[in-house]
Amino acid sequence: MHAILLAAGRGKRLSAANGTGQPKCLLSFGGHSLLARHLDLLQAAGVQRLTIVTGFEAGQIHAAVKHLGLKLAVDFVHNEGFLLGSVLSVHCAQAVLAGAQEDVLVMDADVLYDQRILAPLCAGPSADRIPFDTGFTPGDEPVKLCLQAGRIVEFRKRVALALRYDTVGETIGFFRLRPATARRFAALVASYVADGRADQPHEEALRDLFLETPAGFEVLDTAPAPWLEIDFPEDLVRARDVIVPQLQALP
């Protein structure tokens, strides 16, 4: 399995608490950076290859990886336009997606999470699989995955009031794609860039992908396994005081 870790963003919403000189994936919780946790958990889950998409302060990420003892193969691609949308970061990893011969994980780098989330995501034979958390706190910020009778009917932060669905959860920012699905995702992302929509979040291209085959994706409810996307200053406090004490020890 080949993972793509999206680590290009600047994290402007954290600037008040974090300053402006450190990528979010290098924030440390419980004695380990988010990046180090990703690498440990990916190795434990059997992932063999990792491509990290860098942007803001890429050199710091290169240096951090260099100082970690790793068994999986790591390479980097750089997003010069990291101030635009994350769809451009995914496009920078086009070679991995378009040439996929094995399952591909697409992962946000700014997530603190438990191995009870990644292990089942990576387990078993080839699959299109989306982990989500049905125990989430409702609001405008969570990216929601809505299902009706097991079929995906929406994937966005804001859901139309008239939409009919029987299950909803917050997506964690990780997606497992079979090779053919990864290649289709690459084509959708390329069309966004070609059409002048490189400023869009990659979730919009994923939404297109999901709605093309709404019954084709396995949805994995990870509740109550702990996790948190680190976006706001208050997330730093919640991560350290609430999430870290619930995490299983790293393998």
Q: Rg (Cα) of the chain, in Å, rounded? A: 17
- Establish whether the linkage from the previous residue to 224 is cis, with ω within 30° of 0: yes
Contact 207, 162 (CB under 8 A): no
Per cent of the chain over pLDDT 90 is 92
The whole-model pTM stands at 0.96
Q: CA quadruple 248, 176, 128, 168: dihedral positive or negative?
A: positive
Whether the predicted pLDDT of 13 surpasses 80: no
Contacts of residue 120, Cβ cutoff 8 Å, sequence gap at least 6: 131, 220, 222
What pLDDT is stored for residue 15 in this prediction? 63
Whether the predicted pLDDT of 17 surpasses 90: no
Q: Which of 74, 2, 92 is nearest to 35 (CA)?
A: 74
Q: Sorting pLDDT into bands at 50, 70 and 90, what band is 16?
A: low
Q: Secondary structure of the chain: what % helix, strand, coil (to 5)?
A: 35, 25, 40
Nearest-10 Cα torsion for 120, 205, 112, 16: 180
Whether the predicted pLDDT of 183 surpasses 70: yes
pLDDT digits (tens, 9 = 90+) for 95-105: 999 999 999 99
The CATH architecture assigned to 2-246 reads Alpha-Beta Complex (3.90)
Q: Which of 88, 78, 64 is nearest to 199 (CA)?
A: 88
Tokens of 50: 């990792």
To which residue do tokens 């990290």 refer?
A: 52
pLDDT digits (tens, 9 = 90+) for 109-132: 999 999 999 999 999 999 999 999
Q: Write the burial class of residue 46 (CB in 10 Å: 0-12 exposed, 13-18 middle, 19+ buried).
A: exposed
What pLDDT is stored for residue 185 in this prediction? 99
pLDDT, average across residues 155-169: 97
Q: Sorting pLDDT into bands at 50, 70 and 90, what band is 60?
A: very high
Q: Which of 171, 176, 183 is nearest to 122 (CA)?
A: 176
